[in-house]
Structure 1
Amino acid sequence: MKMSGLFSALILLIIQGALAQRVKVEPEVVSYPGQTVTLRCQFPNPGETQLTQVSWIFERTDMERTNIAVFHPGFGVNYPTTSPLVGRVSFISVPPSLDNPSIQIKDVKMTDEGRYICEYATYPSGNEQGVSSLVMLAKPMNTATTVKVTAGKTPVIVASCESSNGRPAATISWSTPLNGNVTTPRTTNNPNNTVSVQSSYMLAPQPSDNGKDISCVVSHRTMSQPEIFPMKLNVEYPPQVQIKGYDDNWYKGRTNAFLICQADGNPAPTTFTWKTLSGLMPETVQVQENRLAVQKVDDTINTTFICEVRNSLGSGRDQVAVFVREFPRPKGVPTGGVIAGILCVIILVALIATIIVIVRKRQRKNSDGPPTHKPPPPMKTHSYSDRPSSRASLSESQFMYHEEPMTDLSAYHDDKDHHEPSPFSKQTPEKDDRDEDGLMGDVDGYYVTSSASRGSSFMSPAVIV
Structure 2
Amino acid sequence: MRPAPGPPLTGPAFLLLLILILLLGATGARGGRVEVPRSVTAVLGQDVVLPCRYRAQEQEQVVQVTWLKRGAAGTVPAEVAVLNPQHGEHVQEPFAGRVLRHGHGALEDGAIVLRNAVQGDEGDYECHLITFPMGSFEGRLTLRVLVPPLPILNPGPPLEEGQGRTLAASCTAEGSPVPSVRWESEVRGTNATRRSAHARSASVTSEFFLVPGRSMNGKSLTCVVAHPGLRHEKRITHTLSVAYLSDASVLGHTAEWQEGMEGAALTCLGDGNPPPTYNWTR
Classify the TM-score, shorter chain.
Answer: 0.5 to 0.7
Query: Does the C-alpha gap of structure 1 residues 45 and 205 become closer, same or farther in structure 2, counting only changes over 3 Å?
Result: same
Q: Higher strand fraction: Structure 1 or Structure 2?
A: 2
Q: Could you say which structure has the larger radius of gyration?
A: 1
Query: Does the C-alpha gap of structure 1 residues 91 and 67 become closer, same or farther in structure 2, counting only changes over 3 Å?
Result: farther
Residue aligning to 2:95: 85
**Is 1:179 equivalent to 2:188 in the alignment?**
yes
Residue aligning to 2:120: 111
Match of 2:249 among 243, 248, 269: 243
Match of 2:221 among 214, 227, 238: 214
Counterpart secondary structure, 2:193: coil
AA matched with 1:29: V
Q: Higher helix fraction: Structure 1 or Structure 2?
A: 1
Preserved contact between residue 118 and residue 129 of structure 1 (Cα < 8 Å): yes
Shift of 1:211: 2.1
Shift of 1:174: 1.4
Counterpart secondary structure, 2:246: strand
Question: Sequence identity of aligned pairs in percent?
Answer: 26
Counterpart secondary structure, 1:250: coil
Alignment partners' CA distance in 1, 2:92 and 2:220: 58
Alignment partners' CA distance in 1, 2:75 and 2:212: 52
Query: Does the C-alpha gap of structure 1 residues 262 and 146 become closer, same or farther in structure 2, counting only changes over 3 Å?
Result: farther
Residue aligning to 1:262: 269
Preserved contact between residue 67 and residue 82 of structure 2 (Cα < 8 Å): no
Shift of 1:130: 3.0
AA matched with 1:118: C
Preserved contact between residue 145 and residue 159 of structure 1 (Cα < 8 Å): yes
Alignment partners' CA distance in 2, 1:140 and 1:176: 22
Runs of 5+ in structure 1 lacking a partner?
A: 1-18, 275-280, 282-465
For each residue in 1:379-405, what CA deviation from the matched residue of structure 2 results, as whole angstroms up to 9, or x when unmatched? xxxxxxxxxxxxxxxxxxxxxxxxxxx
Residue aligning to 1:202: 209
AA matched with 2:79: I
Shift of 1:149: 1.6
AA matched with 2:249: I
5 Å-filtered alignment, 1:359-378, equals: none
Counterpart secondary structure, 1:111: helix
Alignment partners' CA distance in 1, 2:185 and 2:103: 57
Residue aligning to 1:157: 167
Query: Does the C-alpha gap of structure 1 residues 230 and 91 become closer, same or farther in structure 2, counting only changes over 3 Å?
Result: closer
Preserved contact between residue 241 and residue 261 of structure 1 (Cα < 8 Å): no
Query: Does the C-alpha gap of structure 1 residues 219 and 33 become closer, same or farther in structure 2, counting only changes over 3 Å?
Result: closer
Query: Does the C-alpha gap of structure 1 residues 63 and 110 become closer, same or farther in structure 2, counting only changes over 3 Å?
Result: farther
AA matched with 1:159: A
Shift of 1:178: 1.7
5 Å-filtered alignment, 1:286-305, equals: none
Query: Does the C-alpha gap of structure 1 residues 206 and 66 become closer, same or farther in structure 2, counting only changes over 3 Å?
Result: farther
Query: Does the C-alpha gap of structure 1 residues 259 and 179 become closer, same or farther in structure 2, counting only changes over 3 Å?
Result: same
**Is 1:69 equivalent to 2:86 in the alignment?**
no
Alignment partners' CA distance in 1, 2:187 and 2:103: 61
Residue aligning to 1:232: 239
AA matched with 1:201: F
Query: Does the C-alpha gap of structure 1 residues 61 and 141 become closer, same or farther in structure 2, counting only changes over 3 Å?
Result: farther
5 Å-filtered alignment, 1:290-329, equals: none
Q: How many pairs are equivalent?
A: 241
TM-score, length-normalised on structure 2? 0.60
Runs of 5+ in structure 2 lacking a partner?
A: 1-29
Preserved contact between residue 43 and residue 229 of structure 2 (Cα < 8 Å): no
Higher RCO (C-alpha under 8 Å, 6+ residues apart): 2
Query: Does the C-alpha gap of structure 1 residues 120 and 218 become closer, same or farther in structure 2, counting only changes over 3 Å?
Result: same
Shift of 1:233: 0.6
5 Å-filtered alignment, 1:12-51, equals: 22-45=33-56
For each residue in 1:230-257, what CA deviation from the matched residue of structure 2 results, as whole angstroms up to 9, or x when unmatched? 43212234x332314278x525638576
RMSD (CA atoms): 4.7
TM-score, length-normalised on structure 1? 0.40
Residue aligning to 1:147: 156
Shift of 1:131: 3.1
